[in-house]
Amino acid sequence: MLKKAGVAILGLGVVGGGTYQILTEKREYFKKTQGVDITVEAVLELNKERALSLGVEESKIAGSIEEVVSNPNVDIVVEVIGGTGVAKTFVTKALMSGKTVVTSNKELFAKYWPELEAEAKKMNAGLFFEASCVGGVPIIRTLQDGMQANKVLSIKGIINGTTNYILTKMANEGSSYEEALKEAQRLGYAEFNPTADVEGFDATYKLSILSSLAFNKKICIENVYREGITKVTKEDIAQGKEMGYTLKLLGIGKDTEKGVEVRVHPTFVKNDNPLASVNDSFNAVHLVGDAVGEIMLYGRGAGALPTGSAIVSDVIFAAKHDEYFYACFENNTKGNKETKFVSDFTSKYYIRLTVLDAAGVLAKIAGVFAKNDLSISEVKQVAGTDGKAQVVIVTHISKESAVKKAIEKLASLEEVIEVNSTIRIED
Protein backbone atom coordinates (compact mmCIF):
# COMPACT_ATOMS: atom_id res chain seq x y z
CA MET A 1 0.00 0.00 0.00
CA LEU A 2 1.31 3.43 -0.95
CA LYS A 3 2.12 5.51 2.12
CA LYS A 4 1.50 9.26 2.03
CA ALA A 5 3.30 12.11 3.79
CA GLY A 6 2.92 15.87 3.68
CA VAL A 7 5.99 18.06 4.14
CA ALA A 8 6.52 21.67 5.20
CA ILE A 9 9.83 23.39 4.45
CA LEU A 10 11.00 26.20 6.74
CA GLY A 11 13.27 28.39 4.63
CA LEU A 12 13.78 28.31 0.86
CA GLY A 13 17.40 29.36 0.68
CA VAL A 14 20.05 27.30 -1.11
CA VAL A 15 19.38 24.07 0.78
CA GLY A 16 15.64 24.60 1.15
CA GLY A 17 15.37 25.28 -2.57
CA GLY A 18 17.33 22.14 -3.38
CA THR A 19 15.11 20.11 -1.08
CA TYR A 20 11.96 21.48 -2.70
CA GLN A 21 13.37 20.70 -6.14
CA ILE A 22 14.13 17.07 -5.28
CA LEU A 23 10.79 16.46 -3.56
CA THR A 24 8.72 17.91 -6.39
CA GLU A 25 10.68 16.66 -9.38
CA LYS A 26 11.08 13.12 -8.07
CA ARG A 27 7.62 12.58 -6.61
CA GLU A 28 6.70 9.89 -9.14
CA TYR A 29 10.14 8.29 -8.83
CA PHE A 30 9.72 7.97 -5.05
CA LYS A 31 6.28 6.40 -5.55
CA LYS A 32 7.79 3.70 -7.75
CA THR A 33 11.02 3.03 -5.89
CA GLN A 34 10.15 3.80 -2.26
CA GLY A 35 6.40 3.19 -2.05
CA VAL A 36 5.71 6.66 -0.66
CA ASP A 37 3.82 9.64 -2.03
CA ILE A 38 5.44 12.77 -0.62
CA THR A 39 3.93 16.18 -1.25
CA VAL A 40 5.06 19.63 -0.18
CA GLU A 41 2.04 21.04 1.64
CA ALA A 42 3.53 24.27 2.99
CA VAL A 43 6.60 26.48 2.92
CA LEU A 44 7.55 29.23 5.34
CA GLU A 45 9.56 31.82 3.42
CA LEU A 46 9.65 35.58 4.01
CA ASN A 47 10.64 36.23 0.40
CA LYS A 48 7.37 35.37 -1.32
CA GLU A 49 8.82 36.03 -4.78
CA ARG A 50 11.55 33.49 -4.08
CA ALA A 51 8.94 30.85 -3.26
CA LEU A 52 6.86 31.65 -6.35
CA SER A 53 9.93 31.53 -8.59
CA LEU A 54 10.57 27.97 -7.43
CA GLY A 55 7.05 26.96 -8.41
CA VAL A 56 5.40 26.99 -4.99
CA GLU A 57 1.66 27.56 -5.16
CA GLU A 58 0.71 30.82 -3.47
CA SER A 59 -1.86 29.02 -1.33
CA LYS A 60 0.95 26.91 0.18
CA ILE A 61 3.11 29.84 1.28
CA ALA A 62 2.52 30.06 5.03
CA GLY A 63 2.64 33.31 6.94
CA SER A 64 3.69 31.92 10.33
CA ILE A 65 4.97 28.81 12.08
CA GLU A 66 1.57 28.49 13.75
CA GLU A 67 -0.02 28.17 10.34
CA VAL A 68 2.45 25.40 9.47
CA VAL A 69 2.11 23.30 12.63
CA SER A 70 -1.67 23.58 12.68
CA ASN A 71 -1.93 22.31 9.10
CA PRO A 72 -3.39 18.76 9.30
CA ASN A 73 -1.81 17.87 5.96
CA VAL A 74 1.72 18.43 7.29
CA ASP A 75 3.34 15.35 8.84
CA ILE A 76 7.01 16.28 8.50
CA VAL A 77 8.63 19.68 9.05
CA VAL A 78 11.98 20.35 7.37
CA GLU A 79 14.07 23.07 9.04
CA VAL A 80 16.80 24.65 6.92
CA ILE A 81 16.86 28.15 8.40
CA GLY A 82 20.12 27.76 10.35
CA GLY A 83 21.27 29.30 13.61
CA THR A 84 19.81 28.75 17.05
CA GLY A 85 17.31 31.60 17.40
CA VAL A 86 14.20 31.40 15.26
CA ALA A 87 15.15 27.90 14.14
CA LYS A 88 15.04 26.55 17.70
CA THR A 89 11.67 28.19 18.34
CA PHE A 90 10.18 26.79 15.14
CA VAL A 91 11.57 23.27 15.62
CA THR A 92 10.33 23.16 19.19
CA LYS A 93 6.85 24.27 18.14
CA ALA A 94 6.78 21.63 15.42
CA LEU A 95 7.76 18.87 17.85
CA MET A 96 5.26 20.09 20.46
CA SER A 97 2.60 19.77 17.77
CA GLY A 98 3.56 16.14 17.19
CA LYS A 99 5.21 16.81 13.83
CA THR A 100 8.31 14.86 12.85
CA VAL A 101 11.28 17.18 12.25
CA VAL A 102 14.10 16.85 9.73
CA THR A 103 16.93 19.37 10.15
CA SER A 104 20.25 20.24 8.53
CA ASN A 105 21.16 22.58 11.39
CA LYS A 106 24.36 21.25 12.98
CA GLU A 107 24.74 24.13 15.46
CA LEU A 108 21.17 23.77 16.69
CA PHE A 109 21.49 20.02 16.99
CA ALA A 110 24.91 20.03 18.67
CA LYS A 111 23.78 22.55 21.27
CA TYR A 112 20.20 21.43 21.91
CA TRP A 113 19.99 17.75 20.91
CA PRO A 114 18.93 16.53 24.40
CA GLU A 115 16.22 19.17 24.72
CA LEU A 116 14.82 18.54 21.23
CA GLU A 117 14.93 14.78 21.61
CA ALA A 118 13.09 14.95 24.94
CA GLU A 119 10.29 16.89 23.25
CA ALA A 120 10.20 14.43 20.35
CA LYS A 121 9.94 11.46 22.72
CA LYS A 122 7.16 13.15 24.67
CA MET A 123 5.08 13.63 21.52
CA ASN A 124 6.16 10.37 19.82
CA ALA A 125 7.59 12.39 16.94
CA GLY A 126 10.62 11.69 14.79
CA LEU A 127 13.80 13.76 14.90
CA PHE A 128 16.18 13.30 11.96
CA PHE A 129 19.49 15.03 11.24
CA GLU A 130 21.40 13.26 8.45
CA ALA A 131 22.01 16.56 6.65
CA SER A 132 23.58 18.18 9.71
CA CYS A 133 26.95 16.51 9.09
CA VAL A 134 28.98 16.14 5.89
CA GLY A 135 26.31 17.28 3.44
CA GLY A 136 25.20 14.53 1.09
CA VAL A 137 27.47 11.84 2.58
CA PRO A 138 25.28 9.34 4.51
CA ILE A 139 27.46 9.25 7.62
CA ILE A 140 24.63 9.46 10.20
CA ARG A 141 22.74 6.52 8.73
CA THR A 142 26.01 4.56 8.48
CA LEU A 143 26.72 5.07 12.18
CA GLN A 144 23.14 4.40 13.27
CA ASP A 145 22.15 1.55 10.95
CA GLY A 146 25.30 0.17 9.36
CA MET A 147 27.84 -0.17 12.19
CA GLN A 148 25.77 -1.93 14.88
CA ALA A 149 28.07 -4.96 14.92
CA ASN A 150 31.06 -2.79 15.77
CA LYS A 151 32.61 -0.90 18.58
CA VAL A 152 33.81 2.16 16.68
CA LEU A 153 37.40 2.80 17.66
CA SER A 154 38.04 6.02 15.77
CA ILE A 155 36.50 8.56 13.46
CA LYS A 156 38.61 11.01 11.48
CA GLY A 157 37.38 13.29 8.81
CA ILE A 158 37.47 16.35 6.63
CA ILE A 159 34.08 17.64 7.67
CA ASN A 160 34.17 21.27 6.58
CA GLY A 161 34.26 22.05 2.87
CA THR A 162 35.21 25.72 3.20
CA THR A 163 38.47 25.07 5.02
CA ASN A 164 39.28 22.16 2.74
CA TYR A 165 38.88 24.41 -0.30
CA ILE A 166 41.15 27.06 1.26
CA LEU A 167 43.87 24.57 2.21
CA THR A 168 43.69 22.90 -1.23
CA LYS A 169 44.15 26.26 -2.96
CA MET A 170 47.08 27.14 -0.69
CA ALA A 171 48.71 23.78 -1.44
CA ASN A 172 48.12 23.67 -5.20
CA GLU A 173 48.62 27.33 -6.09
CA GLY A 174 50.87 28.62 -3.33
CA SER A 175 48.24 31.15 -2.26
CA SER A 176 48.36 32.81 1.13
CA TYR A 177 45.56 32.12 3.59
CA GLU A 178 44.10 35.59 2.94
CA GLU A 179 44.14 35.10 -0.85
CA ALA A 180 42.54 31.66 -0.65
CA LEU A 181 39.84 32.92 1.73
CA LYS A 182 38.92 35.77 -0.63
CA GLU A 183 38.57 33.32 -3.51
CA ALA A 184 36.42 31.01 -1.36
CA GLN A 185 34.18 33.96 -0.52
CA ARG A 186 33.95 34.97 -4.18
CA LEU A 187 32.82 31.47 -5.15
CA GLY A 188 30.31 31.26 -2.31
CA TYR A 189 32.17 28.55 -0.35
CA ALA A 190 32.88 30.95 2.51
CA GLU A 191 30.53 33.42 4.18
CA PHE A 192 31.26 37.15 4.40
CA ASN A 193 31.97 36.41 8.08
CA PRO A 194 33.84 33.08 7.79
CA THR A 195 34.54 32.63 11.52
CA ALA A 196 32.34 29.56 12.03
CA ASP A 197 34.27 27.69 9.34
CA VAL A 198 37.85 28.93 9.57
CA GLU A 199 38.01 28.90 13.38
CA GLY A 200 36.71 25.32 13.51
CA PHE A 201 33.31 25.90 15.13
CA ASP A 202 31.39 24.24 12.30
CA ALA A 203 33.62 21.15 12.43
CA THR A 204 33.33 21.09 16.23
CA TYR A 205 29.52 20.94 16.08
CA LYS A 206 29.72 18.09 13.58
CA LEU A 207 32.36 16.15 15.52
CA SER A 208 30.24 16.47 18.68
CA ILE A 209 27.32 14.82 16.88
CA LEU A 210 29.34 12.20 15.01
CA SER A 211 31.48 11.11 17.95
CA SER A 212 28.39 10.82 20.17
CA LEU A 213 26.87 8.39 17.66
CA ALA A 214 30.15 6.59 17.00
CA PHE A 215 31.04 5.98 20.64
CA ASN A 216 27.50 5.77 22.09
CA LYS A 217 28.36 8.49 24.59
CA LYS A 218 27.14 12.09 24.66
CA ILE A 219 30.04 14.25 23.57
CA CYS A 220 29.29 17.90 24.29
CA ILE A 221 30.88 20.64 22.18
CA GLU A 222 32.72 21.81 25.32
CA ASN A 223 34.58 18.47 25.33
CA VAL A 224 36.04 19.08 21.85
CA TYR A 225 39.47 20.71 21.54
CA ARG A 226 39.23 23.31 18.78
CA GLU A 227 41.82 25.11 16.66
CA GLY A 228 41.16 26.78 13.30
CA ILE A 229 43.24 27.40 10.18
CA THR A 230 43.74 31.19 10.42
CA LYS A 231 47.39 30.81 11.48
CA VAL A 232 48.28 28.34 8.74
CA THR A 233 50.89 29.70 6.32
CA LYS A 234 51.84 28.71 2.79
CA GLU A 235 55.38 28.19 4.09
CA ASP A 236 54.21 25.40 6.39
CA ILE A 237 52.16 23.79 3.63
CA ALA A 238 55.18 23.93 1.28
CA GLN A 239 57.55 22.51 3.92
CA GLY A 240 55.09 19.75 4.71
CA LYS A 241 54.72 18.88 1.03
CA GLU A 242 58.50 18.50 0.70
CA MET A 243 58.44 16.11 3.66
CA GLY A 244 55.61 14.03 2.23
CA TYR A 245 52.67 15.57 4.10
CA THR A 246 49.37 17.21 3.15
CA LEU A 247 47.64 19.65 5.50
CA LYS A 248 43.94 19.24 6.33
CA LEU A 249 41.58 20.52 9.00
CA LEU A 250 40.52 17.26 10.63
CA GLY A 251 37.88 16.30 13.13
CA ILE A 252 39.40 13.44 15.13
CA GLY A 253 37.64 11.20 17.64
CA LYS A 254 39.15 8.18 19.39
CA ASP A 255 37.63 5.88 21.99
CA THR A 256 40.58 4.46 23.92
CA GLU A 257 41.18 2.60 27.17
CA LYS A 258 42.31 5.89 28.72
CA GLY A 259 39.15 7.70 27.60
CA VAL A 260 37.66 9.60 24.70
CA GLU A 261 39.67 12.20 22.82
CA VAL A 262 37.90 14.58 20.46
CA ARG A 263 39.70 17.37 18.66
CA VAL A 264 39.48 19.67 15.64
CA HIS A 265 42.70 21.22 14.33
CA PRO A 266 44.97 21.57 11.28
CA THR A 267 46.69 18.23 10.78
CA PHE A 268 49.42 16.89 8.55
CA VAL A 269 48.67 13.48 7.01
CA LYS A 270 51.00 11.41 4.86
CA ASN A 271 50.44 11.84 1.13
CA ASP A 272 49.41 8.19 0.81
CA ASN A 273 46.66 8.63 3.42
CA PRO A 274 43.25 8.50 1.66
CA LEU A 275 42.27 11.79 3.31
CA ALA A 276 45.22 13.55 1.63
CA SER A 277 43.58 13.23 -1.80
CA VAL A 278 40.26 14.78 -0.71
CA ASN A 279 40.41 18.22 -2.29
CA ASP A 280 38.42 21.42 -2.80
CA SER A 281 35.01 21.47 -1.06
CA PHE A 282 34.70 17.68 -0.85
CA ASN A 283 34.39 15.95 2.53
CA ALA A 284 35.41 12.48 3.72
CA VAL A 285 35.10 10.45 6.90
CA HIS A 286 37.34 7.53 7.87
CA LEU A 287 35.93 5.06 10.40
CA VAL A 288 37.58 2.13 12.15
CA GLY A 289 35.35 -0.56 13.65
CA ASP A 290 36.65 -3.49 15.69
CA ALA A 291 34.88 -5.99 13.41
CA VAL A 292 34.72 -4.36 9.99
CA GLY A 293 38.07 -2.56 10.09
CA GLU A 294 38.42 0.57 7.98
CA ILE A 295 35.56 2.33 6.13
CA MET A 296 35.82 5.52 4.09
CA LEU A 297 32.90 7.70 3.01
CA TYR A 298 33.51 10.49 0.51
CA GLY A 299 31.36 13.09 -1.23
CA ARG A 300 30.18 16.66 -1.42
CA GLY A 301 29.88 18.25 1.99
CA ALA A 302 27.58 21.12 1.04
CA GLY A 303 25.40 22.56 -1.70
CA ALA A 304 21.74 22.68 -2.64
CA LEU A 305 21.31 19.19 -4.08
CA PRO A 306 23.88 17.22 -2.02
CA THR A 307 22.47 18.52 1.28
CA GLY A 308 18.95 18.32 -0.12
CA SER A 309 19.68 14.66 -0.91
CA ALA A 310 20.42 13.98 2.77
CA ILE A 311 17.30 15.84 3.89
CA VAL A 312 15.06 13.95 1.47
CA SER A 313 16.57 10.62 2.58
CA ASP A 314 15.41 11.46 6.11
CA VAL A 315 11.99 12.53 4.85
CA ILE A 316 11.56 9.22 3.01
CA PHE A 317 12.79 7.22 6.01
CA ALA A 318 10.35 9.04 8.29
CA ALA A 319 7.49 8.52 5.82
CA LYS A 320 8.17 4.78 5.62
CA HIS A 321 8.51 4.07 9.34
CA ASP A 322 5.83 4.35 12.00
CA GLU A 323 8.20 3.92 14.95
CA TYR A 324 11.05 6.30 15.71
CA PHE A 325 14.35 5.62 17.41
CA TYR A 326 16.28 7.91 19.70
CA ALA A 327 19.77 8.01 21.22
CA CYS A 328 20.81 4.79 23.01
CA PHE A 329 23.10 6.71 25.37
CA GLU A 330 22.42 9.07 28.26
CA ASN A 331 21.60 12.16 26.22
CA ASN A 332 21.70 15.24 28.41
CA THR A 333 23.25 18.68 28.18
CA LYS A 334 26.27 17.80 30.33
CA GLY A 335 26.90 14.28 29.08
CA ASN A 336 27.58 11.23 31.23
CA LYS A 337 29.72 11.93 34.29
CA GLU A 338 31.32 8.50 33.92
CA THR A 339 32.79 9.36 30.49
CA LYS A 340 36.50 10.08 30.76
CA PHE A 341 38.13 12.49 28.33
CA VAL A 342 41.77 12.61 27.29
CA SER A 343 43.07 16.17 27.09
CA ASP A 344 46.77 15.32 27.16
CA PHE A 345 46.59 13.36 23.92
CA THR A 346 49.55 12.04 21.98
CA SER A 347 50.59 12.78 18.41
CA LYS A 348 53.57 13.39 16.21
CA TYR A 349 54.37 17.10 15.85
CA TYR A 350 55.73 19.36 13.14
CA ILE A 351 57.48 22.42 14.63
CA ARG A 352 58.95 25.27 12.57
CA LEU A 353 61.36 27.78 14.12
CA THR A 354 63.19 30.87 12.94
CA VAL A 355 66.62 30.82 14.57
CA LEU A 356 70.03 32.51 14.45
CA ASP A 357 72.17 30.91 11.77
CA ALA A 358 75.04 30.09 14.12
CA ALA A 359 76.98 27.14 15.47
CA GLY A 360 75.48 25.30 18.44
CA VAL A 361 71.86 26.37 17.88
CA LEU A 362 70.63 22.91 16.89
CA ALA A 363 72.39 21.42 19.92
CA LYS A 364 70.55 23.81 22.24
CA ILE A 365 67.22 23.01 20.58
CA ALA A 366 67.91 19.27 20.88
CA GLY A 367 68.72 19.79 24.55
CA VAL A 368 65.31 21.35 25.19
CA PHE A 369 63.62 18.38 23.52
CA ALA A 370 65.65 15.89 25.55
CA LYS A 371 64.83 17.61 28.86
CA ASN A 372 61.13 17.32 28.02
CA ASP A 373 61.38 13.62 27.04
CA LEU A 374 60.68 14.40 23.39
CA SER A 375 62.23 12.24 20.71
CA ILE A 376 63.11 13.83 17.36
CA SER A 377 62.29 11.88 14.21
CA GLU A 378 63.47 14.36 11.58
CA VAL A 379 65.26 17.71 11.41
CA LYS A 380 65.55 20.01 8.44
CA GLN A 381 67.43 23.32 8.34
CA VAL A 382 66.91 25.87 5.60
CA ALA A 383 69.45 28.66 5.31
CA GLY A 384 67.93 32.10 5.36
CA THR A 385 69.19 35.66 5.05
CA ASP A 386 70.40 38.31 7.50
CA GLY A 387 71.91 35.66 9.76
CA LYS A 388 68.65 33.76 10.18
CA ALA A 389 67.67 30.19 9.34
CA GLN A 390 64.54 28.07 9.35
CA VAL A 391 64.52 24.84 11.33
CA VAL A 392 61.77 22.25 10.89
CA ILE A 393 61.49 19.43 13.42
CA VAL A 394 59.22 16.38 13.34
CA THR A 395 58.88 14.48 16.60
CA HIS A 396 58.07 10.89 17.33
CA ILE A 397 54.74 10.34 19.10
CA SER A 398 54.73 12.75 22.04
CA LYS A 399 52.42 14.07 24.73
CA GLU A 400 50.68 17.38 24.08
CA SER A 401 51.74 18.71 27.50
CA ALA A 402 55.42 17.89 26.88
CA VAL A 403 55.37 19.62 23.50
CA LYS A 404 53.78 22.75 24.98
CA LYS A 405 56.48 22.92 27.68
CA ALA A 406 59.20 22.51 25.09
CA ILE A 407 57.70 25.24 22.88
CA GLU A 408 57.55 27.60 25.85
CA LYS A 409 61.23 26.93 26.63
CA LEU A 410 62.30 27.25 22.98
CA ALA A 411 60.59 30.64 22.74
CA SER A 412 62.70 31.87 25.64
CA LEU A 413 66.05 30.97 24.05
CA GLU A 414 68.11 33.87 22.72
CA GLU A 415 68.96 31.83 19.64
CA VAL A 416 65.30 31.29 18.75
CA ILE A 417 63.84 34.35 17.04
CA GLU A 418 60.34 32.91 16.67
CA VAL A 419 58.39 29.67 17.08
CA ASN A 420 56.50 30.00 13.82
CA SER A 421 54.14 27.05 14.01
CA THR A 422 53.22 23.80 15.69
CA ILE A 423 51.10 21.33 13.72
CA ARG A 424 50.01 17.84 14.74
CA ILE A 425 50.59 14.84 12.50
CA GLU A 426 48.25 11.86 12.16
CA ASP A 427 49.46 8.62 10.56
Q: Measured between alpha carbons, how far is 105 from 424 in angstroms, rounded to an integer?
A: 29
Residue 409 CA, chain-centre distance (Å), reads 34
Classify residue 385 by its DSSP letter: S
Buried b (16+ CB within 10 A) or exposed e, 37-60: ebebbbbbbeeeebbeeeebeeeb
Buried b (16+ CB within 10 A) or exposed e, 292-319: eeebeebbbbbbbbbbbbbbbbbbbbbb
Annotated active-site positions, please? 206
Burial of 183 (C-beta count, 10 Å sphere; 0-12/13-18/19+): middle
Give the largest CA-CA distance in the chain. Answer: 83
Task: Give a three-class secondary structure readout of 138-174.
Answer: CHHHHHHHHCCCCCEEEEEEECCHHHHHHHHHHHHHC
DSSP string, 83-116: SSSHHHHHHHHHHHTT-EEEE--HHHHHHHHHHH
Q: Measured between alpha carbons, how far is 296 from 16 in angstroms, rounded to an integer?
A: 28
Nearest to 39 by CA among 51, 54, 56: 56
Q: Measured between alpha carbons, how far is 79 from 101 in angstroms, rounded to an integer?
A: 7
Q: Measured between alpha carbons, how far is 49 from 56 in angstroms, rounded to an integer?
A: 10
What is the chain's Cα-based Rg?
24
Strands (E), 317-387: 346-356, 376-383
Nearest to 212 by CA among 131, 82, 113: 113
Q: Measured between alpha carbons, how far is 206 from 221 in angstroms, rounded to an integer?
A: 9
Question: Are the C-beta atoms of 135 and 199 separated by less than 8 Å?
Answer: no
